[in-house]
Chains A and B, each alone.
Chain A
């Protein structure tokens, strides 16, 4: 798990707060991903960045705002969240999201978010 790190590991926030999740990958990859994991549901892809450019926004509400300043760092800015946004948010990275299907994605440990 040291290849992809995420901070904080746990976050409790009120619906009016603004917070940010951080992801950093040390694998030399060029693609980074945000996923949402809710109980008893498959992982939901939220955003994809390839070479710092956003290539996917999977109909995510605007209260989630991603930022990718370089290929090693990915942020997810949160504001005016709802209780149903409580979940585990996972970051992943891969070599190049456009290079084909055989790429392996490597995941961070996740941020457990609770919205009160």
Chain B
């Protein structure tokens, strides 16, 4: 069975400070990892994904994520957070022979001005 854990329900940072949203996963075989963002009253928007290759993946809106196989983690990062980054962030994982995406419970990010 595959699963995702997002250990923090909420992350609060000041605008201009670095932002990190944590994600760990469990999957059989090679993982495919995804980050999505959800703004209020909106659907999930795809940010980035890790398939293979470079462990540092760059995505939309200045976000990046680092795949760490030994720690089974895929933390989302942004060097300088904006107030507009305030949203709900979801990490998801899928095994290489499975079409089902397993999502974490989500982390609410609040960036204060």
Which residue of B42, B49, B51 is within 8 Å of A110 (Cβ)? Answer: B42
Tier of interface size on chain A? 20 to 34
Assess whether B41 is in contact with A112, with CB atoms less than 8 Å apart.
yes
Report the minimum CB–CB distance from A62 to chain B (whole Å). 22
Q: Which residues of B contact A106 (CB under 8 A)?
A: 46
Q: Known: A41-B105, A102-B51. Is A108-B43 also a contact (CB below 8 A)? A: yes
Q: Using a CB-CB cutoff of 8 Å, which residues 44-62 of chain B contact chain A? A: 44-46, 49, 51
* Partner-binding segment picked from A12-20, A69-77, A78-86, A93-101: A93-101
Q: How many residues of B contact A (CB 8 A)?
A: 28
Q: Using a CB-CB cutoff of 8 Å, which residues 91-108 of chain B contact chain A? A: 94-106
Report the minimum CB–CB distance from B46 to chain A (whole Å). 6
Q: Is A21 an interface residue (CB 8 A)?
A: no
Q: Which residues of B contact A112 (CB under 8 A)?
A: 41
Q: Known: A42-B103, A42-B106. Is A101-B42 also a contact (CB below 8 A)? A: no
- The complex places the Cα of A92 from the Cα of B43 at a distance, in Å, of 9
Q: Is A54 an interface residue (CB 8 A)?
A: no
Report the minimum CB–CB distance from A87 to chain B (whole Å). 13
Which residue of B4, B32, B102, B103 is within 8 Å of A102 (Cβ)? Answer: B32
Which residue of B43, B49, B90 is within 8 Å of A4 (Cβ)? Answer: B43
Instruction: Supply 10 A–B pairs (Cβ within 8 Å), ascending by A.
Output: A42-B102, A43-B90, A43-B103, A55-B99, A98-B99, A101-B98, A102-B96, A106-B46, A108-B43, A109-B43
Show the binding face of B for A, using Cβ within 8 Å.
4, 30-32, 34, 36, 41-46, 49, 51, 90, 94-106
